[in-house]
Structure formats: C-alpha cells, structure tokens
Amino acid sequence: MAGGPIGQQRRAVVVGAGIAGLTAAIALQQRGWQVEVLERATEVGPAGSGLSLWPNGLRGLDAIGAGAGVREQALSATEAGMRDPSGRWLARTDIAGFRERYGDLVLIHRTGLFEVLRRALGDGPLTLGAAVHSVVVTEGGVRVEHSLGTSTAGLVLGADGINSTVRALHWPDAPPPAYAGYTAWRAIVTPRGPVTSGGETIGRGERFGIAPLRDGRVYFYGAADQPAGASSPDGELAELRRRFGTWHDPIPGLLAATDPATLLRHDIYELPRLRSYTRGPIALLGDAAHAMTPNLGQGANLAIEDAVTAAALLDRHSDIATALTAYDRLRRARVEPLQRLSRRTGIALQLSWAPAVLLRDAFMRIAPVGPALRGLAPVLNWDPPTG
C-alpha cells in the first residue's frame, strides 16, 4: 500500500497528544492534511515540571509558527554550568557565546508549552479519552481502534511515548525500554528569595539541577543511582533532603519550599535502538521511537524535530511510502548518535567511585570553554527541512 486510495491519502491519525503528537498534528494541518489526534488521557499536558528548549527545538517550533508564543512564556538562560556540591563552579557555560553561535536556550514550564501547542492546533482535531488499542493496515489505508470508536486514515503517526502501544503492535520484536540505573525527582517551586542562576551540581552518584522560570518560580530536578522501582519509606521529599539538603544555596531553600504533593519521581528508562522508525504507512515519533536519557535535555527537542521533518517530507513526496523512507533515514542518522551521547553523559555525571569523581571534576575545571561550546554543534546545528 503506497499511500492508500484518494480520500485517505492526506488524512492522518496521530496517536498521543504529547509534544511530538501535537507538533506533528499542527505541522500536517498547516500543510493541508486532515488530522485526528487520539489521546488516551482526559487532559493534555503533564503538570509539575519544566523543560529546556534548545536552538534546534526552537527552530522546529518556529517552523510551525509557535516559536514566538513559546519564547513569550519562557525564560532565556542567563547563567549555566556545572558546580560541585559546595557550590564551586567546575565549568561555566559562556551563554553570550552560546547564543551568538547557536541561538537561544530557554526554560519553560511544560504547561506553557502545551498551551501554545494546543492553541495552534485548535480543538477540532483532538479527541481526549481515546486510548488506542489496535492499528491495522488494510487495503484502503489504516484502521485505528480506540476506546471511543474507530478511525481510518492513510497514515498513522505513533507519538504515544516510551511505552508506545503503536510500537508494541507493529514492532513486536523491539526490545523493551531499559533502566538507566538512576531515578529522577522533579518539582516546580516558588522560592522564598529570587533565584537567577541555573545549572547542574554534580556529586557522587547524585546530581541536582536548577532552572529559573519566567514567572519567578524555579524548576528543579535531582537524580540518584537507585534500583528500579525503589521508593523512599519516609517519603520522597525526606529522601531529597537527606541527599541534597547540605548542598550549596539555593538547594536547601528550594527543598524547603517544596510541596511534597507536587514532587514527581520517575525512574529513567531509554529505548534500545530500533532498526527502523517506520513500518508501511505507520511511523513512530518522539519517545515512541527513541526515548533517551534526559542528560542532554534533548528528548522533547528531538520530538519536535521528528514532527516537523515528517510533515515536510510528507508534503515533499507525493506518496507516503517514499516520504516515510526518507523520514526513517534522516531521523535515525540524526537521533542515534545523540542517544548514545546522552547515555555516555549520564554515565559521567552519575559517577560514584571517589577517584573517578575527582578526576572528572578536575578535568571539568581545566577544560577550555571554547572547544566545549564548539562540541555542541552536532547537537544544536539542525534546521527544519525546507519544502
């Protein structure tokens, strides 16, 4: 089947209204596709955490006209780098040099990003409470069955996250997500005093990240080596205070301002490499295709890239099969090295053996800023395909 009969050809079902699904739906809609987005949750957009959007992701959002709205809700990074638990800087990012070379790096509350994407999509295409359980390729296109009924299309985009149903149905031999060996806590808090400096503080098998947001609130995360599925008997906030309560300011203050009910904890998983992101008229996007560890802060940025790339290629090529072959080739070449880099970065940042930690920190202190900045080029130099 190369695209389905007339009538289904420019009709797509997008499974999942996360960042990948919403961006893809907007991009396709702008190119004249009829799009239906099926989302199993009854609300769109996770609460309670922030997101770094890098120049590559922002260029993807610009391509769908959402960049300005997102920048309005976001805060440009002013200071970033790595510190040790006493607060001593190990490496500082030259933000002015970064911006000049690559463009903006912003921090946003996820809710703000979802608001912008929802507005750009409009209410029409989105069906909430529709959990997809079957995706069948037929002679006439693809039939998608979900908890609210059946939808048909010429193309299905599986943007349904790390535990993707679409992937389970059509990539039955794909290995399951693998535990990275560490867990992450996240929260957004209103600090007692202003916090303007962001960045990450690295210890032994533990780290803490701070990202000031536009409205004065602060997004923070902590990460620690832990067995999968572990939880803290006296509560997650108590565990965070035990681990990070004596680290440098403003960390103790951020923990003091944390409402335990809003603290999120997730074990970090990544998806082993898939041999292909497409099967016939079905393509995977975002975490469904390549969930990675969050060490580069790129998962959502790459999901945005996937979405605008898929839409541009589907527009450029007259049949879906050719477009998806090009999508698969381009996106795997782009994403796979970053998935590996993210994994390696995580290993370095989670080191716990004292001599290795000493060496790592010493290396960071002496490493020159220029090459470090230039080293980001393979991650950040990406432009949406034209046409």
Site residues for ligand FAD per CB under 6 A = 15-21, 38-41, 51-52, 131-132, 159-161, 165, 184, 186, 221, 266, 268, 286-288, 294, 297-301, 303
* Residue among 301 and 350 whose Cβ is closer to ligand FAD: 301
84 vs 323: CA distance, rounded Å: 47
Pairing outcome for strands 11-15 and 155-158: parallel
Closest listed residue to residue 106, CA positions, set 279, 253, 385, 301: 301
**Residue 245 CB, nearest distance to ligand FAD (Å)?**
20
**Residue 67 CB, nearest distance to ligand FAD (Å)?**
15
* Residue among 167 and 361 whose Cβ is closer to ligand FAD: 167
* Residue among 15 and 189 whose Cβ is closer to ligand FAD: 15
* Residue among 157 and 361 whose Cβ is closer to ligand FAD: 157
**Residue 107 CB, nearest distance to ligand FAD (Å)?**
8
DSSP state of 31: T
**Residue 358 CB, nearest distance to ligand FAD (Å)?**
27
Is residue 135 classed as helix, strand or coil in its secondary structure? strand
350 vs 372: CA distance, rounded Å: 19
Whose structure tokens read 């920048």?
71
**Residue 268 CB, nearest distance to ligand FAD (Å)?**
6
**Residue 1 CB, nearest distance to ligand FAD (Å)?**
23
* Residue among 44 and 361 whose Cβ is closer to ligand FAD: 44
C-alpha separations of 135 from 61, 288, 380 in Å:
29, 15, 35
* Residue among 210 and 300 whose Cβ is closer to ligand FAD: 300
Asked if residue 335 lies in contact with residue 325, where contact means CB atoms within 8 angstroms, the answer is: no
Number of helical (H) and strand (E) elements in the chain, helices listed first: 14, 19
127's tokens: 């069906």
249 vs 246: CA distance, rounded Å: 9
240 vs 154: CA distance, rounded Å: 48
